[in-house]
Structure 1
Amino acid sequence: MTDEENRRATIARLNDRLRSTGEDGWTYLSRGVSKLPTAIQEDVIRAIRLFDDFTPENDPHGEHDGATLKIGEFRICWKINYYTPGRRENGKVDAADPASTLRIMTIMFVEPL
């Protein structure tokens, strides 16, 4: 494996940890998703946590940093962005270094309702 492939595999592992456990980062629901009934919000979060259908088409860089899924009648997407800890600025961070990167996953509708 090349250094770049190792780096991307590390980023994917770190992103998978946030996505599948909610740990080591923050998760935000968009305003629309947060207005759904609690049971549907729980279904959305569960589906995202269990998602593992990464392909070259939906994950071209192999970093597991986002996807779109259909959950019931809703098309939902989630995206992980990287920020400088304590500043929440999207700047130059090393996504492969968990000590210097704050991961934030945002869950939102693909289309407005």
Structure 2
Amino acid sequence: MGSNPKGHTTKETKNMATMTDNRTEVIAAQNDKVRAVLNSGLGFLGCAEGGVKFKLVWTPGIDEAFMQTGRAKTVLSAVADFDDFTEDNNPHGEREFAALDIEGTRIFFKIDYYNLTLDGGSEDPADTAQTMRVLTLMLPAEY
């Protein structure tokens, strides 16, 4: 069996890559669950299927363009239904960021992983017991 520069065998390296791929898919699925809740009308702070905790926030530009104009459901549904993830907009495979156009307005959404008190990053974003996701909606100029 061959080894790589870090001393891992080829089999160990493949196993580590599989574990990373599985972990990435767990995180991506959790992010999908958070976005899906946006269609439910359950609120902006809560728990998605599987115990995935989240908070939804938006910038002043989103507030002005959508929330104050009676189009909150439009923007929330667009983010919830988005599934056009590509290598360009999803390089980490976690489905945590995308740019989309809604009725002629370009927006970004971004999911960040915090600890439960929101005063630092999560040590393990795949662990729902220690992670609060913050989903931010913003205009590109506000990124």
Determine if the TM-score, normalized by the shorter chain, exceeds 0.5.
yes
Deviation at 1:32, TM superposition (A): 1.7
Task: Show the counterpart of 1:33.
Answer: 62
Secondary structure of the 2:137 match is strand
Report Cα offsets for 1:9-52 as digits up to 9, x if no partner: 00001111111114331111112212233432211110000000
- Closer/same/farther in 2, CA of residues 92 and 18 from structure 1, 3 Å limit: closer
1:70 aligned residue (68, 80, 101): 101
- Give the Cα–Cα distance (whole angstroms) in 2 for the partners of residues 90 and 59 of structure 1: 23
Residues 1:91 and 2:121 are matched in the alignment = yes
Query: Amino acid of the residue matched to residue 33 of structure 1?
Result: I
RMSD: 1.6
Instruction: Please state how far the C-alpha of 1:110 moved relative to its aligned partner.
Output: 1.1
Structure of higher CA gyration radius: 2
After TM superposition, the runs of 4+ consecutive aligned structure 1 residues lying more than 6 A away are none
Secondary structure of 1:53's counterpart equals: coil
Query: Partner residue of 1:100?
Result: 130
CA distance in 1, matches of 2:120, 2:101: 28
Is the CA contact (8 Å cut-off) linking 1:15 and 1:65 kept in structure 2?
Answer: yes
Asked whether the equivalents of residues 33 and 41 of structure 1 are also in contact (C-alpha less than 8 Å), the reply is: no
Larger RCO (alpha carbons 8 Å, 6+ apart): 1
1:18, 1:50 → 2: CA distance? 11
> What is the aligned-residue identity percentage?
36
Native 8 Å contact 2:122 2:131 kept in 1: no
Q: Is the 8 A contact 2:122 2:130 kept in 1?
A: no
Cα distance in structure 2, aligned partners of 1:5 and 1:94? 15
Could you tell me which runs of 5 or more consecutive residues in structure 1 were left unpaired when the two chains were aligned: none
Shift of 1:89: 2.2
SS at match of 1:7: helix
